[in-house]
Amino acid sequence: MSVYLDNAATTPLDPAVLDAMLPYYRDNFGNPSSTHAHGRSARSAVETSRKTVAEILNTAPSNIYFTSGGTEGDNIAILGFIQTFGIEHVISTRIEHHAVLHTLEALKTPEVCYLDLDAQGNIDFDQLEGLLRDNPGSLVTLMHANNEIGNILDLERAGYICREYGSYFHSDTVQSIGKYPLDLQKYPVHAAVGSAHKFHGPKGTGLLYLNAGGKIEPLIHGGGQERDIRPGTENVAGIVGLAKALEIAAHDMEKHSKLISGLKEKMIRDLKATIPGIAFNGVSGNMEESLYTVLSINLPAKDKKNMVLFKLDLDHISVSGGSACASGALKGSHVINEIHKGAENMTVRFSFSKYNTPDDVDHAVSSLRRILDQVSLTRE
């Protein structure tokens, strides 16, 4: 039996999404910038997809731009805002995804201030407000749902604080789009980012919501596609796939969130019963406060962490030791290292999708129990 529980890294493509995409590889292969019939058909597919996405996120189609994914969307928003609005101060946290963190670290200016986090990885809104009071007109970049520990930010609260101090608010919503009903009229954000492969769409396709009052400076220059924000011939099939995947996610959200929450709840219960002393990273063990697709556990077997992941893999269970990007490097997760400073940790992240079953959970928990027994036997 093979079990895939690494859906925060990527999700399997929904077959209905593939069906929607295929005609744009076969017959409707035109370039959306061409004015002939082939081109017009491709243009129509792109614009229909934009309308679909905008309707689901409750915003105007003119606020939606298609990109190559989450990383590009984060870069366009952060670097674009800084350049266009002459931002002198940026506020963020050290547990953002590398798409944000490494972008900020690469900046020579402006100054970046990282908010303090409590032991569970939560920010202090009073500190955010104090910093903005001293530095109005800042750029604040805070992710909505953390991909490693599942913490969820109160977007409305953060957004209204930013608004009060005339600041720009970018949120990496890669892990929450398609999982929660994001209403961009309600949430006071100037930029939000999505990535299709996190909600059963194709890899290499993303969406960027921009609503900052005016055109922002692009990162790259070219033929003017996506109203100059992201020039380059559009990935038509990918865009169609993204819209279809989001449509399915929105339509089935209640059903799938219930199903996935049930699996996560079962895993928490079964892990507690099977592995005494098990702890959860961030707030991921709390069903009310965390992303229902992510469960990050912290185990006592600290000196054998790579062995545990390796053995889970041998048992055909695909999970992550942190983020997908960090797992290959064996450097450990910057998020876990940040919230458990100095402490040795063994983290396993399980992340679920609509394709998982209770059997997957049973299999993963019993395999983990067996592996931990072997690891502690080896240690003695």
Site of interaction with ligand PLP (CB under 6 A): 69-71, 97, 99, 143, 147, 172, 174-175, 195, 206, 324
Q: Which CB atom, from 30 or from 69, has the smaller least distance to ligand PLP?
A: 69
The residue (of 205 and 298) whose beta carbon lies closer to ligand PLP is 205
Cα 144 from chain centroid?
A: 8
163, 131 in Cβ contact below 8 A? Answer: no
* Residue 204 structure tokens: 């290499």
Cβ proximity to ligand PLP: between 137 and 232 the closer is 232
CB of 117 to ligand PLP, least distance (A): 16
Which position among 76, 325, 336, 348 bears the catalytic label?
Answer: 325
3-state secondary structure of 90: strand
Q: How far is CA 135 from the centre of its chain?
A: 28
What torsion, rounded to 10 degrees, do the Cα atoms 156, 158, 162, 168 define?
A: -90
CB of 92 to ligand PLP, least distance (A): 13
- Closer of 294 and 372 to ligand PLP (Cβ): 294
The sign of the dihedral angle between the CA atoms of 230, 236, 237, 243 is positive
As measured in angstroms, the least distance from the Cβ of 193 to ligand PLP is 7
Residue 69 beta carbon to ligand PLP: minimum distance, rounded to whole angstroms: 3
Query: How far, CA to CA in Å, does 373 sit from each of 165, 308, 312?
Result: 54, 11, 13
Q: Which residue is nearest to ligand PLP (CB)?
A: 70
Say what angle helices 236-251 and 37-56 make with each other, to 10 degrees: 30
CB of 294 to ligand PLP, least distance (A): 10
* Structure tokens belonging to residue 5: 């529980």
Nearest to 100 by CA among 367, 299, 334: 334
Question: Which CB, 140 or 271, lies closer to ligand PLP?
Answer: 140
Bridge-based pairing state of the strands 317-318 and 294-299: unpaired
Q: Does residue 325 carry a catalytic annotation?
A: yes
In the bound complex, what is the minimum distance in angstroms from residue 172's beta carbon to ligand PLP? 5
**Smaller CB separation from ligand PLP, 174 or 184:** 174
295 neighbors 285 (Cβ within 8 angstroms)? yes
Nearest to 120 by CA among 340, 311, 292, 318: 340
Rounded to whole angstroms, how far apart are CA atoms 136 and 132?
A: 5
Report, as residue numbers or ranges, the catalytic residues: 325
